[in-house]
Amino acid sequence: MVILMREIDLSKYEIRTDLVVDLINDDFKFEKRRTYKGITISNITLDSENASLLNKEVGDYTTIYFDDITDSSNYGNLLRILSLEMRKILDKTGIKNNHSCMIIGLGNEKSTADELGVSTAKKVIVTRHIYDLTGTLEEGYRITSCLIPGVMGTTGIETSDVIASVIKQVKPDFIIVIDALASDSIDRLLKTIQITNTGINPGSGIGNNRKEISKKIFGVPVIAIGVPTVVDASTIVNDTLNYMKKLFSYNIKNKNSNTNKLIPSNKIDYLKNNNYTLSKEELSYFLGALGNLNDNEKRILIKDVLTPIGYDLIVTPKEIDFIVIKLTDLIAEAINRSIHNISTKKA
Amino acid sequence: MVILMREIDLSKYEIRTDLVVDLINDDFKFEKRRTYKGITISNITLDSENASLLNKEVGDYTTIYFDDITDSSNYGNLLRILSLEMRKILDKTGIKNNHSCMIIGLGNEKSTADELGVSTAKKVIVTRHIYDLTGTLEEGYRITSCLIPGVMGTTGIETSDVIASVIKQVKPDFIIVIDALASDSIDRLLKTIQITNTGINPGSGIGNNRKEISKKIFGVPVIAIGVPTVVDASTIVNDTLNYMKKLFSYNIKNKNSNTNKLIPSNKIDYLKNNNYTLSKEELSYFLGALGNLNDNEKRILIKDVLTPIGYDLIVTPKEIDFIVIKLTDLIAEAINRSIHNISTKKA
Amino acid sequence: MVILMREIDLSKYEIRTDLVVDLINDDFKFEKRRTYKGITISNITLDSENASLLNKEVGDYTTIYFDDITDSSNYGNLLRILSLEMRKILDKTGIKNNHSCMIIGLGNEKSTADELGVSTAKKVIVTRHIYDLTGTLEEGYRITSCLIPGVMGTTGIETSDVIASVIKQVKPDFIIVIDALASDSIDRLLKTIQITNTGINPGSGIGNNRKEISKKIFGVPVIAIGVPTVVDASTIVNDTLNYMKKLFSYNIKNKNSNTNKLIPSNKIDYLKNNNYTLSKEELSYFLGALGNLNDNEKRILIKDVLTPIGYDLIVTPKEIDFIVIKLTDLIAEAINRSIHNISTKKA
Amino acid sequence: MVILMREIDLSKYEIRTDLVVDLINDDFKFEKRRTYKGITISNITLDSENASLLNKEVGDYTTIYFDDITDSSNYGNLLRILSLEMRKILDKTGIKNNHSCMIIGLGNEKSTADELGVSTAKKVIVTRHIYDLTGTLEEGYRITSCLIPGVMGTTGIETSDVIASVIKQVKPDFIIVIDALASDSIDRLLKTIQITNTGINPGSGIGNNRKEISKKIFGVPVIAIGVPTVVDASTIVNDTLNYMKKLFSYNIKNKNSNTNKLIPSNKIDYLKNNNYTLSKEELSYFLGALGNLNDNEKRILIKDVLTPIGYDLIVTPKEIDFIVIKLTDLIAEAINRSIHNISTKKA
């Protein structure tokens, strides 16, 4: 087919996502999922077989979905759930109350899309220096330190080298690392928190030049907390083309519905109860050869189109600046509550 | 055609852009265009006939294109050109050396995509209070004040009401207003500065709830300086589909080129020397019914697809945080140089 | 006496303080004072006679003293007390539930010592635009707008002119203004909040070039909330000299105490139970002619010493940056709770 | 004498200053001093004998004094001088063009008085990652990395431990460390830059809990750049008392001058041509026993007075927020110019 110019090693084009939930479908049987006051919690434990299938690491993945973090009542519910799920992961990972913790905030504080880790780390409670000075800590507190290693572009040093050298000196019993994540889906942006005890693993995705931060590398458990903040521009094009198919299938199914004609077209919820799948011929009619490309082929095409334009464009919710502030408050407070035995805000 | 569900008043869907250059094509005869050290300057003067055609206001529009503002030598060239073009517009608008100026920075300082006006205004030189106190100013300086009215969401007051009431009090002879702009094209983002003596005019675009800031409203000339910082998500989808057609036409033309087969497909510059236009049949083959929609129909379709998803997504260059700092430095210094008779940086 | 070189108009040297509690002594009979969990509340109502004596305006002054705002339990108590006292002042001032409010944040956001008003105003809830759009507000909310007029040095416009022109447009029923205050005593810095329904009055103090913001000027009640953030350098010298006298008197009284000899001299609490007053001779012995100057004379001398050195020095607690963040959170939340009928944090 | 209550180990009360110029008097013969366009440069080289006398380290100390950094012409002169003096120190320290550099920014970025090191470090050019990636650097650039270790209160880790562990990993050939300094004199605040190749040495001063950062500790040369930003409150009291003596001596000498009587007392420049020293009797007359305390005794007394009040007060110029921005621009650019072979601003 002339639409793609040549044979391509498709594995090189696999989309990069840090979210394990991006890789499974709705009936993945190793997922436990429940919803409480509009907040959905997904618990997935990958054994070596499943991990290998998904190209992810063996371990526990908790994913929390929510809608509006700016509402104070939602915020409170979310804080309780996040703290609780954090504690569960700590327990599953074998973290004891007397284990010392190092919190690491990754990313670039000068970029709204990338500052999540740094801004969260700036809000956590540290105690290690008090213990060093006095030999004791107030009841309920754990020995905790914090590191903000910066990004290579402003330090000139590989981030994982900074982390490795400080860990060698401080010798924490476990690590919590916070970072902005990549997702391949627009509908998770700033509305999803993933917690995993597998650390941060670059996987085989494209454009992923991060080094691994994991127990394998550092010898101690690594809990990673992340939130997807942006998708790249090719993702939104691909997502839109997929949604287009759903709209077309909806339109075919409802082409004779008189009610629909009264609703403005952009108000029609074509995603609801829409199980009709377009045939190959219908796809050709609506979208031509493009309509019959599979997801990987479509992504390759979009990359081929966008790369020569010379832009490194990102897509993000308009309100990102405000939501990131709320999210870093939330995650920092949940970390404080889950690693220390305290229930009220102290900072 | 079933692809669009019904008759639509297309005028309601016209894309919103604040850039006059988005509305003209390459051979628009009222444009003077020249390039100096990689920086392109476009001067357009709209008479009432042309203004009416483009749905813009009568007046002068200067647009400056550049590539890399982070390079210090480019920055210097750009500063000189911008200062000069500012002065030309001031002259054309009849501003004299003894006219007093009020600089107004629009937008929301807490949002990277919207802070351009506010951050620029915070860097300009003000002198009005010194004149009020001493009755005189240092040689070369003009009476200048500055207002940052805030956005309605944080003040509860219509921005134009704040401006109107302060202007009534301060009575400047002319106004310079700075704001982040909307564009309908990804290739202008953060690489274009528009200066116009027509003020800020909402036009008939969609989603444009700004009130007019112009001589007609305030009785004194209004120079507006703007930079497009984001496009909405539907724009990038539409742009990508258009670029896709160019890629397909390139591929058809070059399908037997052996050299091309050695270049990775995403490195091929399909935009260069590509004059081949796809036939209706070729468009149908590649893109189906979608391929034969005109631009407006395509935009309507994309809006219909994206709106029910419920996101207000923006597309922006990854480096926006850093570039905005440079741009506000640049514009503030160009304003200082052009309204005062000073050549060196003083602040 | 040669110590002061000539006759001086002492009234010109009167120290400037915005705190009414700086002007009264412990047995001022128009003050009601009580302490709750370490937080002291002082309520003063000045009638025309007392107001004239103190060179202050007729009205209500509530002053709240506290020690450590960084402790979360103190913070909670303080928030409840401040909200309650705010409501009481609103009631005394005749503010009804349907009265519209404008909140004004004064000062310079770029200066830690002066940003209190601006940073607080950025954290309050505004509703006026929602009312304008929908004609109604959620139960419990009041029509509220917010203005940050900036400082003359960055706007070129007299701050009170900006305020006057916007008030004329928005027509609020009452005003709440927040500002950093001056005090003449180091022991109130960042530990005192004054609320008054007399607005902001420059008084006759030196160095006070603020214009009046009051009912008299704007025609509607003005509630002013302030916190002293700095004292000038001459104050700390004067305070230290006064404390020196107390230390000397303590030393004289306790010169034969054997217990005291075991305590390091800088740990002795010489302020406790120290009622002994030095005689004129003792003052001469310890401090020479300086010791017998009265407060005003001493201040004149210190100003004469410091002014030619050419510094505009301020004295402030080392932790000012952190405490100001907490204080602006606190005051913004107390304003939200007292003007709206809501009990939980919403922002 | 009853004025000080007991025998005290005076060495414990020695004032802490990081400025070597605070320790010498005007005719110190190892100082070379010159003035250019209002900027004074002092070069001091301490041999082991002098270093021991001053309780400082053997090495070179360059101190640059200036008045107004906000004036653009001063700024330019200062930048040239600072870059040149930096280069001279690098040469004296044996730094070659191919030596790799690590820049370390000390202090707490959240505190205006302490952010100088961090804010400067954020503005320097780093290149080490480019060299690592490409094996080469653009002509004139040196391999440079940057570390911002944070403060113990927010990391829980001793700052020098973070530095030591990263140095072990990165292995720079020399280090440049930037920090806010302490001074014991108000007239150097924000108007003095000290450069030394002796690193940062805590010395024997009080309240100095910093660890040493020097060649002795890290095995490679350490260039330290510092600016005094605050003095503690006791310093200004002590300075004022000393200035008071000068004013008294001036007044005695000029008590019959008729001209002086026409000048407002706070406009008299009593510091000019004032060589008269008060006698013991005159000191007793003016200042009593206080007048005859030596500097150390006076400081002890002031500390004894202020400590029980319970404040950790600092004294700083009112304009500190603005000046620190200018200073960090200046020092970062001077570092860039002196370690790389580039003359224009690139960042």
Give A175 or D210, the one with higher predicted confidence. Answer: A175
**Helices C280-291 & C233-253, crossing angle to 10 degrees?**
160
- Residue A254: the pLDDT is 79
Its ipTM equals 0.85
User: Do the beta carbons of residue B109 and residue B119 sit within 8 Å?
Assistant: yes
The least confident of C146-150, C252-256, D68-72 is C252-256
Residue A217 amino acid letter: I
* Average pLDDT of every residue of chain A: 86
Which of A231, A262, A285, A290 would you mutate first to test chain B, the one with the most B CBs within 10 A? A290
pLDDT tens digits along C257-285: 766 666 666 667 777 777 778 888 888 88
Residue that the structure tokens 């806010």 belong to: D180
pLDDT tens digits along D207-256: 445 688 999 999 999 999 999 998 888 888 888 888 888 888 888 887 77
Contact residues on chain A for B311, CB-CB shorter than 8 A: 186-187, 189, 317
- Residue A9: the pLDDT is 47
Residue B7 pLDDT more than 70? no
User: Do the beta carbons of residue C106 and residue C149 sit within 8 Å?
Assistant: yes
Compute the distance between CA of residue A70 and CA of residue A323 in angstroms, rounded to an integer.
Answer: 7
Q: Average pLDDT in the A207-221 region? A: 81
Residue C97 amino acid letter: N
Give the chain D residue nearest B326 (alpha carbons).
D347
Instruction: Please name which of D177, D178, D137, D195 lies closest in space to residue D342, comparing C-alpha atoms.
Output: D137
Compute the distance between CA of residue B338 and CA of residue D120 in angstroms, rounded to an integer.
Answer: 31
Task: Looking at chain C, list the stretches that DSSP marks H as alpha helix, in order from N- to C-terminal side.
Answer: 48-54, 72-92, 116-121, 128-134, 152-155, 159-170, 215-218, 233-253, 280-291, 295-306, 320-339
The least confident of A100-114, D54-68, D179-193, D260-274 is D260-274
Q: How confident is the model at residue A3 (pLDDT cuts 50, 70, 90)?
A: low
Q: How confident is the model at residue A201 (pLDDT cuts 50, 70, 90)?
A: confident
Say if the Cβ atoms of B303 and A261 lie within 8 Å. Answer: no
- Residue A297: the pLDDT is 84
Classify B36 as helix, strand or coil: strand
User: Do the beta carbons of residue D155 and residue D139 sit within 8 Å?
Assistant: no
Determine whether B46 is exposed, middle or buried from the number of CB atoms within 10 Å of its CB (0-12, 13-18, 19+).
buried
Which of C68, C69, C70, C72 would you mutate first to test chain A, the one with the most A CBs within 10 A? C72
Q: Cα separations (Å) of D184 from A310, D235, D239?
A: 56, 6, 9
Give the chain A residue nearest D158 (alpha carbons).
A129
pLDDT tens digits along B38-95: 999 999 999 999 888 888 889 999 999 998 888 888 999 999 999 999 999 999 999 9
- Residue C151: the pLDDT is 93
Contact residues on chain D for C233, CB-CB shorter than 8 A: 186, 236, 240, 315
- Residue B204: the pLDDT is 38
- Residue A24: the pLDDT is 82
Give D172 or C252, the one with higher predicted confidence. Answer: D172
Residue B197 pLDDT more than 70? yes
- Strand bridging mode B192-196 / B222-232: antiparallel
Contact residues on chain B for A317, CB-CB shorter than 8 A: 311-314
- Residue A43: the pLDDT is 95
Instruction: Please name which of D158, D115, D123, D162 lies closest in space to residue D144, comparing C-alpha atoms.
Output: D123
Contact residues on chain C for A347, CB-CB shorter than 8 A: 72
Q: How many residues does chain B have?
A: 347
- Interface A–C counts its CB contacts (< 8 A) at 12
Quickly count: other Cβ atoms within 10 Å of residue D108's Cβ. 19
Determine whether A71 is exposed, middle or buried from the number of CB atoms within 10 Å of its CB (0-12, 13-18, 19+).
middle
Q: How many residues does chain C have?
A: 347
Query: Which chains touch C (3+ CB pairs under 8 A)?
Result: A, B, D
| Residues linked to residue C120 through DSSP beta bridges, in sequence order | none
Residue C10 pLDDT more than 80? no
- Residue A262: the pLDDT is 64
Residue B12 pLDDT more than 70? no
Of C146, C156, C165, the CB nearest to B169: C165
Compute the distance between CA of residue C39 and CA of residue B74 in angstroms, rounded to an integer.
Answer: 59
Q: How confident is the model at residue B304 (pLDDT cuts 50, 70, 90)?
A: confident
- Residue C209: the pLDDT is 55
Determine whether B169 is exposed, middle or buried from the number of CB atoms within 10 Å of its CB (0-12, 13-18, 19+).
middle
Smallest Cα distance from A191 to chain D, Å: 29
Determine whether D128 is exposed, middle or buried from the number of CB atoms within 10 Å of its CB (0-12, 13-18, 19+).
buried
Contact residues on chain A for D126, CB-CB shorter than 8 A: 153-156
Residue A207 pLDDT more than 60? no
- Residue A214: the pLDDT is 92
Classify B113 as helix, strand or coil: coil
pLDDT tens digits along A245-274: 888 888 888 777 766 666 666 667 777 777
Classify A232 as helix, strand or coil: strand
Of B144, B152, B165, the CB nearest to C165: B165
| Residues linked to residue B200 through DSSP beta bridges, in sequence order | B213
Say if the Cβ atoms of A244 and B290 lie within 8 Å. Answer: yes
User: Do the beta carbons of residue D95 and residue D316 sit within 8 Å?
Assistant: no
Contact residues on chain C for B127, CB-CB shorter than 8 A: 156
Residue A26 pLDDT more than 80? no
* CB neighbour list of residue B114: distance below 8 Å, 6 or more residues apart: B107, B108, B151, B180, B229
Of B122, B128, B162, the CB nearest to C157: B128
**Helices B280-291 & B233-253, crossing angle to 10 degrees?**
160
* Average pLDDT of every residue of chain D: 86
Residue C243 amino acid letter: Y
Residue C138 amino acid letter: E
Query: How wide is the angle at C-alpha B27 spanned by C-alphas B22 and B29, nearest 5°?
Result: 100
Give the chain B residue nearest D347 (alpha carbons).
B70
Contact residues on chain D for C263, CB-CB shorter than 8 A: none
- Interface A–D counts its CB contacts (< 8 A) at 84
Q: Average pLDDT in the C184-194 region? A: 89
Contact residues on chain B for C122, CB-CB shorter than 8 A: 154
The least confident of A148-157, A188-197, A294-303, D132-141 is A294-303
Q: How confident is the model at residue B2 (pLDDT cuts 50, 70, 90)?
A: very low
Classify A96 as helix, strand or coil: coil
Of C72, C345, C346, the CB nearest to A346: C72
Residue D283 pLDDT more than 50? yes
Q: How confident is the model at residue D2 (pLDDT cuts 50, 70, 90)?
A: very low
Q: How confident is the model at residue C28 (pLDDT cuts 50, 70, 90)?
A: confident
* CB neighbour list of residue B67: distance below 8 Å, 6 or more residues apart: B38, B74, B191
Task: Looking at D159-279, list the stretches that DSSP marks H as alpha helix, in order from N- to C-terminal side.
Answer: 159-170, 215-218, 233-253
Q: Which residues of B touch C (CB under 8 A)?
A: 122, 126-130, 132, 143-148, 150, 152-158, 161-162, 164-166, 168-170
Q: How confident is the model at residue D266 (pLDDT cuts 50, 70, 90)?
A: low
Residue A215 pLDDT more than 50? yes
- Residue C4: the pLDDT is 52
pLDDT tens digits along A76-91: 999 999 999 999 999 9
Determine whether A49 is exposed, middle or buried from the number of CB atoms within 10 Å of its CB (0-12, 13-18, 19+).
exposed
Give D240 or C104, the one with higher predicted confidence. Answer: C104
Contact residues on chain B for D322, CB-CB shorter than 8 A: none
What is the share, in percent, of chain B residues with pLDDT greater than 70?
88
pLDDT tens digits along B144-191: 999 999 999 999 999 999 999 999 999 999 999 999 998 878 888 999
Classify D202 as helix, strand or coil: coil
Smallest Cα distance from A137 to chain C, Å: 17
Say if the Cβ atoms of C156 and B122 lie within 8 Å. Answer: no
CA torsion angle D19 D21 D25 D30 (round to 10): 130
Smallest Cα distance from A100 to chain B, Å: 36
Q: How confident is the model at residue D262 (pLDDT cuts 50, 70, 90)?
A: low
Residue B24 pLDDT more than 60? yes
Residue A121 pLDDT more than 60? yes
Q: Choose the most confident range, by mean pLDDT, from A242-246, A273-277, B130-134, D342-346.
A: B130-134
Tokens of C226: 């302030």
A292-301's contacts with Cβ under 8 Å and 24+ in sequence apart are: A293/A3, A293/A4, A295/A238, A295/A242, A296/A10, A296/A13, A296/A14, A297/A4, A297/A10, A298/A238, A298/A241, A299/A13, A299/A15, A299/A234, A299/A238, A300/A4, A300/A8, A300/A10, A300/A13, A300/B265, A301/A3, A301/A4, A301/B244, A301/B247
Compute the distance between CA of residue D38 and CA of residue D65 in angstroms, rounded to an integer.
Answer: 9
Q: How confident is the model at residue A142 (pLDDT cuts 50, 70, 90)?
A: very high
Compute the distance between CA of residue C109 and CA of residue C18 in angstroms, rounded to an integer.
Answer: 20
Q: Choose the most confident range, by mean pLDDT, from B3-17, B19-33, B206-220.
A: B19-33
